[in-house]
Amino acid sequence: MKAKYFALVFLSVCILNSCKKEEDEILVLEGTWSGQYGGNVDIGNWSIQIDANKTAIGTFTSIQSSNSYQVIGVISENGVLNANIGMGEITGEFSGHFMDNTAFGTWTNNTEDDSGTWIGTKL
């Protein structure tokens, strides 16, 4: 009887710890991130705020034109971001990976036929 009780307690602790780990991983990503991007034509800066609901909202700002575009997307528990860039007729994608305090990925501007990579860190 004691063996079954201890097995049940052990199993319960393991389940609770695995649930806590998922929450901890997204909480590590939560906060403000920023960095730079570069492409075939355009270069600039980006900044994104990730909240506890896994929503990513921020800006994508060109150094050359000073235009600023909105970035809206979601981030998974394992740090994969899928977001859209948009402002008026300008559309594109902003995707990549966030882990620990480092982020990197690719972006496209479908309207101006430009694309490239981006890097950043957590503030």
Look at residue 7 in the predicted model and tell me its pLDDT.
44
Distance (Å, rounded) from C-alpha 93 to C-alpha 86? 9
The share of the chain scoring above pLDDT 70, in percent, equals 77
Look at residue 19 in the predicted model and tell me its pLDDT.
47
Look at residue 28 in the predicted model and tell me its pLDDT.
86
Distance (Å, rounded) from C-alpha 12 to C-alpha 14? 5
Look at residue 6 in the predicted model and tell me its pLDDT.
43
Distance (Å, rounded) from C-alpha 4 to C-alpha 8? 6
The stretches in the chain having pLDDT less than 50 are 1, 5-14, 16, 19-23
Predicted TM-score (pTM) of the model is 0.76
Determine how many CB atoms are found less than 10 A away from the CB of residue 26. 18
Look at residue 87 in the predicted model and tell me its pLDDT.
73
Look at residue 18 in the predicted model and tell me its pLDDT.
52
